[in-house]
Amino acid sequence: MLKDIIVEIMSTEQLIKQERIDLENQLKQIKNNNIKALKNREKELEQELYDELKTYEDNQQKLLDDCMKESQNWKQEKSSQLARSFETNEDSVVDALLKEVETIYGHF
């Protein structure tokens, strides 16, 4: 009877040790899986952040290009207006000077 109890205790003790080993192995596996999942998620987030940053930079560059184009168009338009204005004024200035010269020196 005592021998049976001792065998039972030893058997139970052996089962407990085996269950503990199994649980430790499961815990290690869960930990490894969590670390893998965390690293994968970190890579995904880094990629998402990179993509968002790239999109933002592309949009900013497009806005800058649009502003530069608009500025260039405005500059060309103003230059054309100034050139036309200068040509118009130059003709009238030349005409006015010729008339002034004619009145002073007579007709050429």
Q: What is the pLDDT of residue 86?
A: 65
Considering the entire predicted model, what is its pTM? 0.53
In the three-class reduction of DSSP (H, G, I as helix; E, B as strand; rest coil), residue 40 is classed as helix
Query: Which of 88, 69, 68, 70 is closest to 80 using CA atoms?
Result: 88
Q: What is the pLDDT of residue 101?
A: 79
pLDDT digits (tens, 9 = 90+) for 12-71: 999 999 999 999 999 999 999 999 999 999 999 999 999 999 999 999 999 999 999 999
Q: What is the pLDDT of residue 108?
A: 53
pLDDT digits (tens, 9 = 90+) for 90-104: 667 667 777 777 877
The tokens 């290690």 sit on which residue? 28
